[in-house]
A and B are shown apart, each in its own frame.
Chain A
Amino acid sequence: MADEMAGEGGGMRKMLIWLPLVLFLGFFGLFASGLLKPDDRVISSKMVGRPLPAFTLPAAASDRPPLASSQLATGKPRLLNIFASWCLPCAAEAPQLMALKRAGAEIDAIAIRDARADVDAFLRRYGNPYARIGLDARSAVQIAMGSSGVPETFVIDGKGQIAYQHIGDIRADDVPMILDRLRSAQ
């Protein structure tokens, strides 16, 4: 009977013998590439290229006005920094935000889940590069923008559209790139 089968589809059967090996190599390659690829946990916002969601937020700091989305569509590109006084990388990026401000960038901010006294203390300690600061106590605006953490910095073009999203703290060598993005976002 075995001879009969071999006679019928011998070529086919011989090929089938290689199938497990091919499958094994396929899976091996898949797993190896998955293991060797650097871990990427960055979730970029799908809102880039689209208008900023409408919001009106109360003031987060004592000496800065509150922030509404309409104030971000002024015909001139601006930076929108998402930060929190309880976030360490936000403190680390403070000097870079100051450098951006010195270079002429206009920066507004949204403080996530924060308290006014904490924001005041944070700004006293690390400097205050912001024109306006809105308080997003329930991360609602953050979620509406597709932002997944603090700090993040968005370039908002003159029409109020999100032109670019920078995830994580701004390092010193990111500053020229952000300024470029800001210039090209007319």
Chain B
Amino acid sequence: MRRLLAVMLLLASAPALAQSALPPAPYADRQIDDPALERKARGLMETIRCLTCQSQSVADSNASMAGDMRSEIRQRIMAGETPEHIRAWLIERYGDWVSYEPTAAPILWPLWAAPAVLLFLGLLLLRARIKRRTRP
């Protein structure tokens, strides 16, 4: 009896911890029927940062706002918008911060150049070593 009461109390306490009284948005936790579209939406959701739990993507987060964003993204994809268009729309509102995908902004040019520069340095090093080896 006591245990039952405890379980009942636990169940009753859940809404107090909820972030919002409303049920999740229609497409927050429901996939799009067309698997190709769902794949597109999924790809975008995994690279959009949740605003409430800032180190999670909206695909991972349980925050109610992340649910609303998932629903918004799925509905826009269903309406025919491209993922990159939706990403640009979100960046327009929250800045580059909201996207996990690096952009081609000038501040990121060193990042994009880094692999080429490192490879070049590596080749230089290799060349010097080979020269030293082959010289008797």
> Interface residues, chain A, CB within 8 Å of chain B?
1, 5, 41, 43-47, 84-86, 112-115, 118, 137-140, 142-146, 148-149
Contacts and interface: CB of A to CB of B under 8 A. Distances in A.
B22 A148 contact: no
Contacts, number: 70
The prevalent SS among residues of B at the interface is helix
Given A1-B132, A113-B22, A137-B22, A46 B65 contact: no
Interface of B: 18-22, 25, 51-52, 54, 64-65, 68-69, 71-72, 90-95, 97-98, 132, 135
B3 to A, nearest CB: 30
B25 A138 contact: yes
Given A43-B51, A46-B93, A118 B21 contact: yes
B79 to A, nearest CB: 13
Contacts of A145: 93
Most buried by A among B25, B93, B97, B135: B93
Contacts of A137: 22
A43 B132 contact: no
A118 B20 CA distance: 10
B68 A148 contact: no
Contacts of B68: 113, 138-140, 143
10 contacts: A5-B132, A44-B95, A45-B94, A85-B21, A86-B19, A114-B22, A115-B22, A143-B65, A146-B94, A149-B51
Contacts of A149: 51-52, 65
A114 B94 contact: no
Contact of B95 (A1, A46, A143): A46
